[in-house]
Amino acid sequence: MKLNYVFLFLSDPLDSRIPDVEYEKEYKAASKYFSVGLINQERLFEDNVVTTTYKISNDDIIVYRGWMLKPQLYDRLVTYVEKNGGQMFTNLSELNIRI
């Protein structure tokens, strides 16, 4: 089984098709060596809904790169990833955070 590391970055708040300007260089660098995707920042922070441009599947290890999330939002991201067959590189229990 080959693991696939995927870096998910927050999208620009005004254009969900491009990375947040603060993470643009990191996004471009990561895309040279890993699979990358975007999390719609507006939907995440305003609607508490996770949507991504990358289709998560089995064997995907997801690395979140973005602004610090409240534990409830990070848990929502973990749930989304796991429902789609992937797993997070870092989960809440490893961070010793309770919801």
Identify whether the C-beta of residue 2 lies closer than 8 Å to the C-beta of residue 32: no
Over residues 36-63, mean pLDDT: 96
Environment class of residue 2 by beta-carbon count within 10 Å: exposed (0-12), middle (13-18) or buried (19+)? exposed
pLDDT surpassing 60 at residue 99: no
Tell me, what DSSP letter sits at residue 58? T
pLDDT surpassing 80 at residue 46: yes
- Hunting for tokens 């995707």 — which residue is that? 37
What is the C-alpha to C-alpha distance for residues 4 and 19, in angstroms, rounded to an integer?
21
Over residues 33-58, mean pLDDT: 96
pLDDT at 49: 95
